[in-house]
Amino acid sequence: MKGSMKNKATAIALAALLATVTACSNSNPEKVSQSEGQAAETAQPSSAASEENVDPFGKYDPPIKLSTVKIFNASDKFVPGETADKNVWLDGYLKDLGIEMKVNWSVVGDEPGGPGEQKLNVSIASNDLPDIIPVNSKQLKQLVDNDMAEDLTEVIEKYASPQLKKFLAVNDGLALKTSTFDGKVLALPYVASSLDAASMIWLRKDWLDKLQLPEPKTMEDILNISDAFANRDPDGNGKKDTFGIGLAKDVYGGGLYDLNGFFEGYHAYRNLWLEDEEGKLVYGGVQPEMKQALGKLQEMFLAGQIDAEFGVKDATKVNESVVSGKIGLFYGQHWNAFYPLPDSFKQDPSAEWKPYPIVSADDKPAIPSIGTGVNPESVNGYTAFKKGSKHPEALIKLANYYVDKEYGWDTGGYDDDFHQPDPNPEGYIRWRLAAVYMSDPGQNIGIYRGVKAALENNDQDALKNLQVKSNYDIYNRFMENKDPASYGNAKWAGPKDTALSILDYYDSQRLGISDQFFGSKTDTMVQKQSTLDKLQLEMYSKIIMGAVPVDAFDQFVADWKKLGGDTITQEVNAWYESTK
């Protein structure tokens, strides 16, 4: 898949909010225009907004009344006395913003298709909606199609605080693009990190040193390491009982013992829609690069480098092999520092796990796939404002308020009263009670850089961020006494050779590629995507295990196209053209 990097200006209103946006394509996908950790200097209020001297936190006097609904998770636990209708957020809205918030109804069950989604579907169908509406992407599309969502473009430009604009500008403002229709922003996305989805390599560095192997810089290095780990007795027990690479039956799901990072080393993206050299979107899972990657995996399987029983083992079973010292190489994500690596350390403190960036099979850089910065399937993935309701700017003020109370380390807005108790043995939470919420997409990168600055430069200002301070203290505790309970955080946020150091590398080098299709599921996707996904997984697994020749991939591609893939491709490209 080849193509050319294209500069795509957003609509004028978005340009005022986010400045010029450069869309990622697969031509030079490592060039992400704005990193998660960098300050968004471009995300400043427009001159018109500045002239009006709008206060992003301005209080309504007299107070205004707004309504919303709440959908909770079954595991949510709240401080005694706090409920959906009475809590610190609702009190703060009235006291500080002059907004009296009414919760029309609340329900437990935020899983896809669960009670929350079902109840809101009824509200949408009957047009019995609150002012502030939490929705997933499918529901947002329903609101848009029925002209039920207020245009937020101007109020975001005018009222969003610098901190909120910074969050929305990450990854070229892609999260905001997902809620933009015909140049209008019709919902506020629950912005989250896109980099957190990036793959990395986890390796037993002590095994590398024992076998005198170089650290991986190319895919050839990985293939050699896999061969050595399977055949050169890295655990020293005199038996051929270790594997070259850890792999679970899901093959490419879950961020642990999957193959996404391996595929990406061959520039193969199993579920992304990427732009080809003709400017059309093509599905990565059926491209020639994937066939090459699967062929190499088949060679590794037939050579005994992959557990012959991987097809029936979930991540929990593979974890047993990691902890018992039978696997020293796997592809995963940053959170693997917390699972399964602490169990490996407890079992064998000499097991030295080290993360590495994914590596390439040729002279082109390996580019990890990253998220869009929003979870479209979540019942709280977006927050829309009912069309025709008064004060749509209040939605933006509520978002400003949330990010300031949660992440206002530099503004002085951070407030412990809005956070969970500390200590918190009962696991109470408060953030889910807010009417509008989102996460800081640069939070993890910020933690890493703050810990690094405090440790290496004695930067005490970095410790004003309490998330940095917590990880700084835990890291020091681990370095002092090798406390097993501190291992995960130390391996995650420490200043060198840690999970977040890899994400920081991706971020600083602007390495990352996102799905170029971020619209709602097309009609054919709804009907046939699950069948196509099943076909894809089955074929990938069969090829890896040598049950069919590598050339069977070609028949799979033909079947994929015939069973709905061609129609989906046409629908996806029709959507893509509409966004230009």
pLDDT tens sequence across 188-215: 999 999 999 999 999 999 999 999 999 9
13, part of any domain: no
Residues 364 and 483 in one domain: no
9 falls within a domain: no
Domain membership of residue 12 (yes or no) is no
Model confidence pLDDT, tens digit, residues 338-355: 999 999 999 999 999 999
pLDDT for residue 580 = 81
208 lies in the same domain as 356: yes
How is residue 521 annotated by DSSP?
P
Mean pLDDT of 542-564: 98
Q: Which domain holds residue 530?
A: 199-369+521-578
Residues 472 and 429 in one domain: no
Give the residue from 509, 534, 567 where a domain finishes: 509
Residue 220 has pLDDT above 90, yes or no: yes
| Together in a domain, 474 and 402 | no
Q: Is the pLDDT of residue 28 over 50?
A: no
Q: How many CB atoms neighbour CB 190 within 10 A?
A: 21
Q: What percentage of the chain exceeds 70 in pLDDT?
A: 91
**Closest alpha carbon to 176 in 61, 398, 5, 16:** 16
One domain for residues 207 and 325:
yes
Q: Does 391 lie in the same domain as 349?
A: no
Give the model confidence (pLDDT) of 58-113 as tens digits.
Answer: 999 999 999 999 999 999 999 999 999 999 999 999 999 999 999 999 999 999 99
Domain boundary among 413, 433, 453: 433
Co-location of 213 and 281 in the same domain? yes
Domain of residue 357, CATH code? 3.40.190.10
How many distinct structural domains can be found in the chain?
A: 3
The mean per-residue pLDDT over the stretch 398-408 comes to 97
pLDDT tens by residue, 458-472: 999 999 999 999 999
Q: With pLDDT > 90 as the criterion, what percentage of the chain qualifies? A: 86
Tell me the C-alpha distance between 503 and 102, whole Å.
41
Residues 236 and 354 in one domain: yes
> What residues contact residue 80 under an 8 Å CB cut-off, 6+ apart?
none
The pLDDT value given to residue 471:
97
The verdict on 312 and 350 lying in the same domain is yes
385 with 501, same domain: the answer is: no
Q: Classify residue 549: in a domain, yes or no.
A: yes
Structure tokens at 177: 């693009």
310-329 pLDDT, tens digit each: 999 999 999 999 999 999 99
State the burial class of residue 249 (Cβ atoms within 10 Å of its Cβ: 0-12, 13-18, 19+): middle
Asked, for residue 382, whether it belongs to a domain, the answer is yes
Mean pLDDT of the chain: 91
Who has greater pLDDT, 39 or 374? 374
CB 577 within 8 A of CB 530: no
- pTM of the predicted model as reported, rounded to 2 decimal places: 0.88
The two tokens of residue 190 are 């629950």
How much is the pLDDT for 27? 34
**Residue 23 pLDDT > 50:** no
In a domain, 2, yes or no: no
Q: How far is 93 from 62, CA to CA, in rounded Å? A: 13
* Domain identity same for 127 and 241: no
Q: For 416, what's the count of Cα atoms within 13 Å in the CB-facing half-sphere? A: 6
